[in-house]
Every structure is written in C-alpha cells, then in structure tokens.
Amino acid sequence: MKATQRDFAAAAQRAAQQCSVFFFCGPDEAGASAAAARIIELLPEPGERVEMSGADLRKDPVLLGDEARSGSLFGNTRHIYVRANGDEAHDAVHNLLEGQGDACPVLVIATSATDKSRTAKLLEKRDDSLVAMFYPPDLRSATATVRNMADAAGVRLNGDLAERIARGAGLDVRLAQSEVEKLALFLDASPQSPQPASAEALELIGARTEEDGFMPLVNAVLSGQSGKLPAELRRMHEMSLNPVGLLLAIERRVAQLAQIAARLDPGGRISDVIESEKKARRIFWKDERDITAQLGLWRGRKLDRLLARLVALHRALLANNQSAETLLSQELTEICRFANVRR
C-alpha cells in the first residue's frame, strides 16, 4: 500500500487496522513523524513503545524481528518505532517479513529515503505494509492541514488564524499540532463542543511567530551572517529554544531551497524563479530577501552536502539530549562560517 501527504489522512484508518509495517519517507521529516504519530493513535492496541535506531538494525538485522515477536511471549502489546537513515533498516525489515509468528506493529521513519528506495520497494505491493512519502508542505497545504487539525479538536479557525499558526510553526505540522492542542485546551473545546478561536486567544496561549522564534537564527546561519550569529546563539540559550525544533526549521528552509533550486533552469535568474514562487504562494514576501541570498550560496552539490550534514546532526541531537544545545551551536557556527566564506 502506498500513500503521500495528499491521501494519507484518508488511508490512515484502514492502514492502521490492516498493516503491521509502516515506512514513512521523503524530505519532510516533520510530516513523516506526524503521520507515524497518527498511525499510533489509530492502532487498536498500541501498548508500549520500543525505540530502535537504523544504525543498530544495520549492525544486527535479526534484532527487529526478535524484538517485534518477543512481546507475545509475555502477553503485552507494544509497537516498535525506528528512526533510520536511508535504507539502514532494509535487511532488518526483510528478516522481519520472512519470520514466523505474529509480530507487533513496526513504524520506520526513514530520513533521506524515498518511495524508490529498496525498503519502499520491498513493502509497497504488500497488503500488510504501508509506504508513505512526504514532501515539505507549501503554505497553502500547511494552512489546510492546520484547519483539519482544528476541526478534529473542536476549534473553529478562520483562514487567517490557520495561516498564522502554520507560519508560526514554520510549516512544521508537529509544532502546529501542539499549538492547536494548546488552543483547544484554553478554549475548553472538543469535537462534541466546538468553540470559535480568536486572534486574542492565540496571543494568550503564547503562540510564537517566526519573527519571535527560529527564523532570525535560521537566516543568520544559512546566509553566512557571522556577525549576527553570536547574539542569535545567546538568544537561543536565553529563550530556551528547543534545539531539535530549531534544527527542523533549518531543515525545512534547506528543503525549500532544494525545491526552488530544482525549478531553476540552467542559466536562469534567481529573481525570476523567486517571483514565480511568490505568485504560487510558496514564498512569503518577508522571506524573499533571505531566500534569494541563500539560493546564491547553497546550490548543487553544496546543497546536497548541507542536507546530509543536517541529517547527521539531527541524529546526533536525538542521541545526545543532554548536550543537544552545545552540539547544535558548534555545528551551526561551522555552517555559518562556510556560508560566510562563499559570500
């Protein structure tokens, strides 16, 4: 079974009932993670969550099958949540499928993988598996997703408020979901008792906008603004900005740069493609200057290497929660220094 972000919502209920292996891939790691969380919500008995890494499964390909079947020995329900890079989990998933006996649900979030990867090809034609591909959303689709979240939570949002939440979350559906949940709690809203939301309510719950949160630091790093970086890193510390959330904002911007760069014809002008993106509402006018500058710095193989570097950094942050802020600061300083040299 295959899905994309366009039809995942419609397929999720059936997949949760029918499938036992779920492979979430594509450049939108936030969307893939949100989809995995939705599947877990829909599982008949999700039980205990067991987390595993793709690196561990690559070293020991039989571990996944053993772990997925061990719960039945004690009568406890569980599900396994795997974070992998590319096809790290391929052999482990293959062994799981070849094994005998009932296994608990397995969800794989595969950064840098696509629906053309070996693992996806292994699963896509099976009735007991789901392959879901996620691309970074544009503003229009992110706003629509926020409105769907709000409807499900019993919060009545107009288009302007939904767009504001989408922007404030940097188009990250996980952060947007958190804001919708806070808004529902504040309004005492539920599907049985829907409540209208207002701009005042959104302000009161402390929903942070891009300008107040991640984007000044994102732009300082990717634009090579080494003079601004120390102050932005201090602000990150003083405001206790979430390191993983900040890195996700950087990853989204870099994914956006990659999408725009792919639309730039050889010899074409950056200004022309930026204007086209604005007309398609894929770029907000306040971001135009920063994105234009960053496209001039990050193109081709340099952009590919940056994406790979951010993926590795993401894994390091998840594995080292205690030192996440220090690791992030060091790496962002290096990326900013490299961008500054190229200016």
**Sequence spans of domains, the chain:** 2-133, 139-204, 215-342
Instruction: Render pLDDT for 68-99 as a digit per residue (tens, 0 to 9).
Output: 988 644 567 899 999 998 899 999 999 999 98
Q: What CATH code would you report for 2-133?
A: 3.40.50.300
Closest by alpha carbon to 188, among 155, 225, 222, 139? 155
pLDDT value of residue 211: 42
pLDDT value of residue 58: 93
pLDDT value of residue 343: 60
User: Quick check: pTM over 0.85?
Assistant: no
Q: What CATH code would you report for 139-204?
A: 1.10.8
d(CA 281, CA 42): 33
Tell me the percentage of the chain whose pLDDT exceeds 90.
Answer: 41
Task: Please list the residues that pair with 3 across neighbouring strands.
Answer: 132
Sheet holding 2-4, edge to edge: 2-4, 129-133, 21-25, 106-111, 78-85, 48-53
Fold classification of 215-342 (topology level): Zinc Finger, Delta Prime; domain 3 (1.20.272)
How many residues belong to the chain? 343
